[in-house]
Amino acid sequence: MRSRRRSRIADHPISHERWLVSYADFVTLLFAFFTVLYASSTVDSTKLEAVGDSIQQVFAGPALNPVANVAPRPVVIPETPQPGEELVRVEQQLLRDLADEIAEGRVSLTQDSRGLVISIREAGSFATGSADLPPKATALFSTLGSRLRVVPNAVRVEGHTDDVPIHTSRYESNWQLSTARATVVVAFLIQEAGLDPGRLSAAGYAEFRPLAPNDSLENRAANRRVDLVVLNPATRSAEEPAANRVSQ
């Protein structure tokens, strides 16, 4: 048994050079260290200083909050239409739809304290002394009705004449003629244009609401007219409180 052990030890002699492994590792580390020093010495000092400053600012500043750095979206609040804006829009549409009639002087559009006034001259609507709508007038009132049907405002139809007295088998005065014309237009807007009757009213003023003095043929012709007054909310509230109470 002893001879066998001795033979095995003799086959594997003890090595005294193991220190070379640790020495090689140490040399490798020194090489890496001096390589880093050399690389650092060749870096642009200005860039290195800038990088250092940036790092210091990051660590010295407040903690980063990704959510806080996101710009908040602006909150869009729908604008509430101001009184009169809807009437301005309707007026602009009618200016386009009735461009030919306006150019011919048959129709005019104005804004006053009551609201939007659509004025149709007698020459563009009725025959003299008559309250019957001719075909050209029905086309005009159909266009007006289609635009007024989509707005909620109340509409007052006003009949006006000049100061020349009238006395026929149908109308004994300008009061009757002016009121009859306003009523005929209201009936057309309800039956043909589909407007809500609760939005409409009719009034006859005879010769007592002239646009111009009745001192010439031209002025008298301007005074003979039918006005569709699209009432603004203030006028509606002031002139027709009973209707407002019922609607509430």
pLDDT tens by residue, 163-220: 999 989 999 999 999 999 999 999 999 999 999 999 999 999 999 999 999 999 999 9
As for how many domains the chain has, the answer is 2
Question: Are 189 and 233 contacting, i.e. CB atoms less than 8 angstroms apart?
Answer: no
Q: Give yes or no for residue 16 having a pLDDT over 70.
A: no
Please give the residue that has the higher pLDDT: either 66 or 233: 233
CATH number at residue 234: 3.30.1330.60
Residues 106, 170, single domain; the answer is yes
Q: Does residue 5 fall inside a structural domain? A: no
Q: Is residue 203 part of a domain?
A: yes
Position 117: which residue type? Answer: V
pTM above 0.85, yes or no: no
- Say yes or no: 206 and 129 in one domain: yes
| 193-214 as b/e: b if 16+ CB within 10 A | bebeeebbbbbbbbbebbeeeb
Domain that holds residue 224: 85-247
Residue 12 has a pLDDT of 58
CB 212 within 8 A of CB 222: yes
Asked whether residue 91 is domain-assigned, the answer is yes
CA 162, CA 121: separation in Å to the nearest integer? 12
Same-domain check for residues 41 and 136: no
37-43 average pLDDT score: 62
- Shared domain for 140 and 53, answered yes or no, is no
Range of lowest pLDDT (10-14, 51-55, 117-121, 133-137): 10-14
- In this structure, the answer to whether residues 55 and 90 fall within a common structural domain is no
In a domain, 216, yes or no: yes
Same structural domain, 196 and 159? yes
Residues 43 and 117 in one domain: no
Percent of the chain with pLDDT over 90: 54
Average pLDDT over residues 102-128: 93
The residue with greater pLDDT, 223 or 87, is 223
CA separation for the pair 31, 29 (Å, rounded): 5
Q: Which of 105, 139, 136 is nearest to 120 (CA)?
A: 105
Residues 121 and 218 grouped into a single domain: yes
Q: Would 236 be classed as within a structural domain?
A: yes
Q: Is residue 10 part of a domain?
A: no
Q: Does 14 fall in a domain?
A: no
pLDDT at 32: 72
What is the average per-residue pLDDT within 143-158?
A: 94
Q: Does the residue 26 lie in any domain?
A: yes
Question: What is the pLDDT averaged over residues 68-73?
Answer: 54
